[in-house]
């Protein structure tokens, strides 16, 4: 009986533990890479939505679309010659309006937040110094993911010749809140 050899219980336990650790590491790596791939896909979608927002604003400028409720009483267009805006009092070109702070209170240091439709018409949704008003942001559903998009107008070096346009797209997933932010400068045509 001395010639019989077998594995001890300790060897079997060690081999099992090593096997379990290898399987756990592979599972963790797979889950981690799937989450990163999903985040990359969602980030790409958000960036495309931000690019679309910039193009909508550029289209609105090129078509001289209305900019609604920039202040409590006026409606503007890009060059001030858009009769469809129906302003009261008469509209001014957006280039004549310095956007140095909040839309309704320029001294507050906030920013002017807008929704932009597919024709490039901007509608003011408020101002805030820290975050944009998510209640009024444009909501975009893509599969199971919900994005919120807003446009910020502000002054660049010379408000009379150019405006800074920032489009912010936000979303929330398993890892928390994220945002994609694109900035461009629109010059007076």
Tens digit of each residue's pLDDT (9 = 90 or more) over 5-22: 667 888 889 999 999 999
Instruction: Lowest mean pLDDT of 81-85, 124-128, 165-169, 185-189, name the range.
Output: 124-128
Tell me the two tokens of residue 35. Answer: 């989450």
Judge whether 52 and 114 are in contact, CB under 8 Å. Answer: no
Residue-wise DSSP of the chain: -TT-----HHHHHHHHHHHHHHHHHHHHHHHHHHHHHHHHHHHHHHHHHHHHHHHHHHHHHHHT-EEETSSSS--EESSS--GGG--SS---BGGGS--SS-SS-GGG--EEEEEE-TT--EEEEEEESSS--TTTSEEEEETTEEEEEEEEEEE-S-TTTEEEEEEEEEEEETTEEEEEEEEEEEEP-
* 123 Cβ neighbours under 8 A, 6+ residues apart: 68, 69, 114, 115, 116, 117
pLDDT of residue 130: 47
Give the tens place of pLDDT for each residue, 104-162: 454 545 567 888 888 888 877 776 544 555 567 788 888 889 999 988 887 777 767 88
pLDDT of residue 90: 61
Judge whether 42 and 171 are in contact, CB under 8 Å. Answer: yes
pLDDT of residue 135: 61
Supply the mean pLDDT for the chain.
80
Greater confidence, 57 or 120?
A: 57
Q: Would you tell me how many other CB atoms lie within 10 Å of the CB of residue 1? A: 3
**CA 169 – CA 149 distance, rounded (Å):** 4
Greater confidence, 73 or 163?
A: 163
Whole-structure pTM value = 0.75
Tracing tokens 């839309």 back to the chain, one arrives at 103
């Amino acid at each position: 009986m001395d010639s019989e050899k077998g594995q001890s219980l300790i060897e079997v336990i060690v081999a099992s533990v090593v096997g379990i650790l290898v399987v756990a590491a592979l599972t963790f790596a797979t889950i981690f890479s799937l989450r990163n791939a999903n985040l990359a896909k969602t980030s790409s979608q958000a960036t495309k939505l931000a690019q679309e927002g910039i193009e909508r604003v550029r289209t609105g400028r090129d078509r001289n679309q209305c900019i609604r409720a920039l202040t409590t009483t006026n409606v503007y267009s890009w060059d001030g010659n858009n009769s469809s805006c129906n302003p009261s009092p008469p509209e001014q070109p957006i280039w004549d309006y310095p956007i140095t702070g909040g839309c309704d209170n320029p001294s507050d240091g906030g920013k002017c937040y807008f929704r932009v439709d597919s024709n490039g018409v901007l509608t003011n949704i408020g101002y805030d110094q820290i975050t944009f008003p998510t209640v009024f942001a444009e909501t975009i559903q893509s599969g199971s993911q919900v994005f919120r998009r807003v446009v910020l107008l502000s002054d660049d070096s010379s408000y009379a010749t150019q405006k800074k346009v920032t489009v912010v797209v936000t979303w929330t997933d398993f890892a928390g809140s994220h945002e994609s932010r694109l900035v461009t400068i629109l010059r007076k045509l």
